[in-house]
Amino acid sequence: MEKLAELDRELFLFLNNLGSEQWDWLWIAISDKWMAIPLYAILLYLIFKKFGLKPTLLTLVVVALLITATDQLANLFKHGFERPRPCRQEGVMEYARFIAVRCGRFGYFSAHAANSMGVAVFLSLLFQKHYPKIFVFLLFWAAVVSYSRIYLGVHYPGDIITGMMIGGIFGFGFFKLRQYLAARILKGSGEA
């Protein structure tokens, strides 16, 4: 296990030190949850356009539950494992580029990675019949948001990989929940 942790630290330092001051502003912006609002607005419009009002409202509720679930599970893991973030771990923080606004105490696993991957998988499955190639864009977006956490110096690659895997599983599960609820709630209205 220690060998794996050492590999994670080495990979973190390599990836984190690829950054440069001229691009710091961009990665800070990518990691900022409010910067995704234009993307979410476009995706919300596409959902409304393809499915109508009631299915859009149902989708919003399920996505809110998805994000809440991945967020809370990440908090549970962080306080359960108590793995220090790279920006707080001696022997790592001295060699890393830390440019985030703040550095929390624990980092296993990344909620940013879980949330973005969960939403990407969920929406890719939702749009698969209407926009079959959107999954490429959404998965790329999730990967970039996830990498931004390494760039900023607040997560190890292992935190990111775990977060993306959990987010993918939750995205699939909450998509299935939406299908079930749509069949039960919207069955009579002809909407899905």
As a whole-number percent, the residues of the chain with pLDDT over 70 amount to: 97
pLDDT at 56 over 90: yes
Q: Look at residue 140 in the predicted model and tell me its pLDDT.
A: 97
Tell me the average pLDDT across 11-15: 94
pTM above 0.85, yes or no: yes
pLDDT digits (tens, 9 = 90+) for 64-121: 999 999 999 999 999 999 999 998 888 888 999 899 888 888 888 899 999 999 999 9
Q: Look at residue 188 in the predicted model and tell me its pLDDT.
A: 56
Peptide bond into 109 cis (omega under 30): yes
DSSP annotation of 5: H
Residues whose CB is less than 8 angstroms from the CB of residue 39 and which lie 6 or more positions away in sequence, other chains included: 141
pLDDT at 190 over 90: no
pLDDT digits (tens, 9 = 90+) for 128-177: 999 989 999 999 999 999 999 999 999 999 999 999 999 999 999 999 99
**pLDDT confidence of 42, banded at 50, 70, 90?**
very high
- CA dist 113 and 117 (Å) reads 6
Q: Which amino acid is at 1?
A: M
As a whole-number percent, the residues of the chain with pLDDT over 90 amount to: 78
Q: Look at residue 185 in the predicted model and tell me its pLDDT.
A: 85
For helices 2-16 and 134-152, the axis angle rounded to 10 degrees is 100
* Region class of 52: left (phi > 0), else alpha (psi between -120 and 50), else beta: left
pLDDT at 191 over 60: no
Helices (H), 95-156: 111-127, 134-152
State the average pLDDT for the chain: 92
Block residue for tokens 């879980």: 114
* Region class of 59: left (phi > 0), else alpha (psi between -120 and 50), else beta: alpha
